[in-house]
Every structure is written in C-alpha cells, then in structure tokens.
Amino acid sequence: MRKELLLVLFLLFKIAVFNVSSEEFIETATIHTPERTYQIEYLYDADKVQFGYCKRAQNGTAWNNVEYVAWEYDEDKRKTLETTEVWKTNKWVLAQEISFTYDNEGNKTGELLQVVSESVLRNSTRTQWTYDGTQIGQVSVEKWENNMWTLQSLSEYIYNSDGRVAEVIFRDKTRTIIWRKVFAYNEAGLLLAQTLQTKTEGVDPEAFDNESRDVFMYDEKGREILKISQTWNGEEWRNIHRSTSEYDEEFGDLTIQTFENFHSQSWHNVTQTKYFYDGAGNLAEKQFRSWIFEMWVEIFNENYTYNDNKDTQVAEFNRLFFAGTSAPQVASFLPLSYNNSDVVDSPSTTDLILAHKIEVVHVAAKDLKVSEQIPPLPTTDINSAQINVWVYPNPSSDGYFYFNSREVNLLSYEIYDMFGRLIVARSKNDGYLDLHHAPSGIYNALLHTDAGKTVKKLIRK
C-alpha cells in the first residue's frame, strides 16, 4: 500500500492548468518532458484565427525546428485539411496530410490520411461514414495496398423502430463478423444494458458468446445512479467495476461519483469525484480523491471560470495537486485554445502525456503577432523515431478505440489511469482497445507494436 501511495505522488507531476480568456491568445507553450524540452508557437492569421503551430526542441541554448502543423477550414468553419511538415536537412518537408469531407447536412463523410513516401504523397488510410437519414449506417476503415483500397474493418449500426441503436456489428477485413454490441432499453427509452458478444466459431451466423456487459440503474427522475461492469466466465456474469452517482435534492445537479472494484466477494473503493457549482449553475469545482490507507485522500482539485460572452465556454481551468495535504504541492500547465468555431486545438498528444510541466505565455489581442508563413529560425536536423498509429474515435463515448496503422502491427497493450494504475492489459490484437468498463476520464495507452512502443492518450467520455 505504501508503494501505491508513492506511485500516486510521483505521477502527480503530470498535467494541468488551462487559462484562456476571450481577450487573450496563447503565444507559446513550453513543454518539459523527461527526455527533452519542446516549445510550441501558435500561429494566427490576419483575423487572429489560429491556423496552426510550430514545434521546436531545445538543444542547449538553441531551439531546433521539429514539426509544423497547419489547418484549413471551409466557410462553415469545419476543418477540411490538416498538413504536417517536419524539419529535415535544414528545410521543411511535407510528412502527411489529412483531408476531411462532409455532406450537405454537415455530417462528416470521409477522412483521408496521406503520407509522404519517397518524396511522394501517397494514400495511407481512409475512414468513410454513411448515413441512413441523420443516423450513422456504416463506418468503414480502409488501407491503401497494391494501388487499391482494401477494407480493414467495418462497423454496422442497426436501430430500433424508435430510432435508438439496437446493435453495432463489427467486421474484419474479410467482412467476417468478429463481435457485436447489443443494447437494451426500458419503456422510457433509458439504456438498461449494453452487452459485448464475440462471434462463436462455426457456421451458425446467429451464434455469439457473451464477453462483457454494462448494466445501468436510474432514479425516479431518470438519472443514472448505478453502472455495473461485468464479464462472462462461461456460466455466469461476474462483477468487475461499478460507479454510483448522487445528486443534489434541490437543483438535481450531480454531486458525487464513486468508482469501486469488485474482488474477494465485496466492493472496494477506488476513486471519488465531488462536484460544486456556482450561482448560475455552472460547474465551479471538482475534487478528486483516492482511497488510500482505508481513507479518502484528496489528490487534486479542478476550478473553472467562464468567459463573459459565452456562459458555457471555460475560460480558465486550474488543476492543483494536494498529495494528501491541505495545501497544493505542485501545479503544472497545459494550454487550451479555441478557434473561431469553438473547437479546442492543442499540441501533440504524446508530448502532453509525457509532460512533467508545461509553461504557457499569453498575450493580449492587440499585441498578438500574426503569421501567414512558417516563422524562420536557425535550426539543425532532428532525427526522431516515430511510430504512426491511429486510434479512433477519440474521445469515445462507449469506451472502444479502434487501432489502425499502415506501418506497424499491434501486438499487445496496457491502459493506465491518471494515477498510474493498470486498468486493462491485453496480450492479443482484437483490432480495438477496450475501455468500456472504465469510468469517464483520461487514460494513457502503452501500445506494443512490432516496431516498438508508443503512447496514446485516450479520452473516455
């Protein structure tokens, strides 16, 4: 138990403070990781709309160019193109492009990744969404192989007569059904259970084996008060996790969420979150606690303020770490910025996961320098080994994150929570990362591939 506490205290050196107001812009963010220090310079156009950022690495007293990322938007403020360039042999070299397409209703229909190989931009992977009216019908992921698109995975959505999702069926590259998720609702339309089932080997197309499920309970007002995650052992359902929710009797706001693990035939506390609100009903503070030495230990708090012109847009987010004392021990920094369509843009995910401290510099709008090209800077070449993998959707509302890469194969993975505790470990490649048992939050996935290890941040909604 003492080792667990020390691990928790050590991992408290991660992420952070957001601080952006309607009158300020992020100019730079300095990211300190165990291996290297990076600087992110945010770039704005003449209308002071962020269109990209330039990443540099510290080398002694100099800053060396590493990566330049730029975005383009259509007239409806939807992202249409994301371009990434890397610094090689004292010049910027195109590395990849991601293009996005939409239908007339604004639904995303396509996402195409192209990467540079032998100085030529080549197709890599693409995801396509088809709709039945306003509802998603299919999601397909394809890989460019032998000068043609080959299917990697296909998800099919089946709906009830009332428009609610009844099943999601997942097929592999041969269109063979691998698993399905089945949803059950009560008469009020509230979700009672979602069950993951794997395809039974054999010729019967309707035969599936239970794998895991989530069961939900609600109060008389239709608010979720209990979620239990279970696994099937071949004979019966066994409890794994559960989360309970409590609400304010007067206003109905969520006040406490408690997460517990089941072992030794009983439930055991793990974490707890308490919620506090301001006079306008906006979330003002979260208190995060962990069950250590048979008592709740306050780990960190999050405090929120809001922009005057947009009641629901967070202007400042502070995370203070307590380490079981009454005074904060460490506060780190993480930039949060809004583009003109209120979409949050941030630097490289991997860097933020590894960051021990991030320093942010803000400038007033009147003092902001705008750029329309990559800022010049004396640099040297940076050789950084990268493993290009794609995990989607991220954030995920159901806890399933699909893995795709044109270069590497996933061998195994582990997923850790924000306190460094192992949540999931899989020694096989199912084509997806499974976090559906876990509560909402931010997790780190350590992916073992045939080309090495890489880390991805996962957001479970």
392, 402 in Cβ contact below 8 A? yes
Mean pLDDT value of segment 79-103: 91
Tell which residue, 304, 325, 323, has the closest CA to residue 315: 304
> Which is more confident, 75 or 297?
75
Structure tokens at 312: 């629901």
Neighbour tally for 245: CB within 10 Å = 19
Neighbour tally for 106: CB within 10 Å = 8
Q: Is the pLDDT of residue 373 over 90?
A: no
- Percent of the chain at pLDDT > 90 equals 29
CATH number, domain 389-461: 2.60.40.10
The whole-angstrom separation of Cα 326 and Cα 320 is 11
pLDDT band at 250 (very low <50, low <70, confident <90, very high): confident
Q: Is the pLDDT of residue 426 over 70?
A: yes
pLDDT for position 349: 38
pLDDT for position 378: 38
Neighbour tally for 252: CB within 10 Å = 11
Domain ranges of the chain: 2-384, 389-461
Strand partners, 398: none
103, 76 in Cβ contact below 8 A? no
Q: Is the pLDDT of residue 224 over 50?
A: yes
Give tens-digit pLDDT for 62-73: 888 889 988 888
Ranking 107-116, 145-154, 160-169, 340-349 by mean pLDDT, the lowest is 340-349
Q: Is the pLDDT of residue 319 over 50?
A: no
Core vs surface per residue 346-374: b (16+ CB within 10 A) or e: bbbebbbbbbebbebebeeeeeeeeeeeb
Give tens-digit pLDDT for 329-365: 333 333 333 333 333 333 333 333 333 344 555 555 6
Overall size of the chain counted in residues: 461
pLDDT for position 246: 96
pLDDT for position 223: 94
pLDDT for position 159: 94
Ranking 16-20, 22-26, 310-314 by mean pLDDT, the lowest is 16-20
Mean pLDDT value of segment 84-97: 90
pLDDT band at 256 (very low <50, low <70, confident <90, very high): very high
pLDDT for position 304: 66
pLDDT for position 11: 34
The Cβ-side half-sphere exposure at 62, using a 13 Å CA radius, reads 10
pLDDT for position 313: 41
Structure tokens at 55: 């990443």
> Which is more confident, 412 or 365?
412
pLDDT for position 321: 46
Ranking 32-41, 56-65, 328-337, 388-397 by mean pLDDT, the lowest is 328-337
Core vs surface per residue 14-38: b (16+ CB within 10 A) or e: bbbbbbbbeebbbbbbbbbbeeebb
Give tens-digit pLDDT for 181-216: 999 999 999 999 999 999 887 767 778 999 999 999
Q: Is the pLDDT of residue 318 over 60?
A: no
The whole-angstrom separation of Cα 431 and Cα 170 is 10
- Entry pTM: 0.64
Ranking 265-274, 315-324, 392-401 by mean pLDDT, the lowest is 315-324
Q: Is the pLDDT of residue 146 over 60?
A: yes
Supply φ then ψ for residue 256, to 5 degrees.
Answer: -145, 135
Tell which residue, 129, 171, 170, 173, has the closest CA to residue 149: 173
Q: Is the pLDDT of residue 75 over 90?
A: no
Q: Is the pLDDT of residue 5 over 50?
A: no
The whole-angstrom separation of Cα 107 and Cα 364 is 35
pLDDT for position 251: 85
Q: Is the pLDDT of residue 308 over 60?
A: no
Mean pLDDT of the chain, nearest integer: 75
Ranking 3-17, 44-58, 75-89, 359-373 by mean pLDDT, the lowest is 3-17
Q: Of 78-87, 198-207, 427-436, which has the strongest mean pLDDT? A: 78-87
> Which is more confident, 82 or 427?
82
Q: CA geometry: angle at 219 spanning 215 and 225, to 5°?
A: 50
The whole-angstrom separation of Cα 66 and Cα 95 is 12
Q: Is the pLDDT of residue 446 over 50?
A: yes
Q: Is the pLDDT of residue 327 over 70?
A: no
Tell which residue, 274, 269, 275, has the closest CA to residue 290: 269
The whole-angstrom separation of Cα 331 and Cα 58 is 23
The whole-angstrom separation of Cα 184 and Cα 190 is 8
Query: 3-state SS of the chain?
Result: CHHHHHHHHHHHHCCCCEECCCCEEEEEEEEECCCCEEEEEEEECCCCCEEEEEEEEEECCEEEEEEEEEEEECCCCCEEEEEEEEEECCEEEEEEEEEEEECCCCCEEEEEEEEEECCEEEEEEEEEEEEECCEEEEEEEEEEECCEEEEEEEEEEEECCCCCEEEEEEECCCCCEEEEEEEEECCCCCEEEEEEEEECCCCCCCCEEEEEEEEEEECCCCCEEEEEEEEECCCCEEEEEEEEEEECCCCCCEEEEEEEEEECCEEEEEEEEEEEECCCCCEEEEEEEEEECCEEEEEEEEEEEECCCCCCCEEEEEEEECCCCCCCCECCCCCCEECCCCCEECCCHHHHHHCCEEEEEEEEHHHCCCCCCCCCCCCCCCCCCCCCCEEECCCECCCEEEEECCCCCEEEEEEECCCCCEEEEECCCCCEEECCCCCCEEEEEEEEECCEEEEEEEEEC
pLDDT for position 387: 67
At position 117, the amino acid (one-letter code) is S
